[in-house]
Amino acid sequence: LLPTCAAIIHHGGSGTSQTALIHGVPQVIVPAVLLDNHLKSWRVAEAGAALCGSAEKCTARELRALLSRVLEDPSFAAAAARLRVEMLAAPAPAELVPALRRLTRALR
């Protein structure tokens, strides 16, 4: 479903944020007060792919305004698309294992 979305509103969890990024979907994040959701959310916002609201203070009107802005300003979709390209260009974890093994042997 997510690849068909123009935007997503969510709580800032790693799984949701990363899944939206890998599909190039702009985000409105209202970070839950859990672990490092605030930090991760603001990093996505700093990269231009999201707007963040406050879980403690965000009203329905404010949430609608954030979503409208993300949908109407093409810079959010462009930033999300750029991050998707960057993520897809990064090596997969399995591709890094040989290098990690070499480093482990060398540094023992």
The domain that holds 76 is classified in CATH as: 3.40.50.2000
Report the predicted TM-score, pTM, of the whole model to 2 decimal places: 0.85
The C-alpha atoms of residue 9 and residue 14 are separated, in whole angstroms, by: 14
If one counts the domains in the chain, the total is: 1
Residues 19-57, buried b or exposed e (16+ Cβ, 10 A)? Answer: ebbebbbbbbbbbeeeeebbebbeebbeebbbbbbebee
Task: Give the pLDDT confidence of 85-103 residue by residue, as tens digits.
Answer: 999 999 998 999 999 999 9
- What residue numbers bound the domain in which 82 lies? 2-107
- The confidence score (pLDDT) of residue 95 equals 92
The pLDDT-based confidence of 58 (bands split at 50, 70, 90) is confident
% of the chain at pLDDT higher than 70: 100
Query: What is the average pLDDT value for the chain, to the nearest integer?
Result: 94
- The confidence score (pLDDT) of residue 2 equals 94
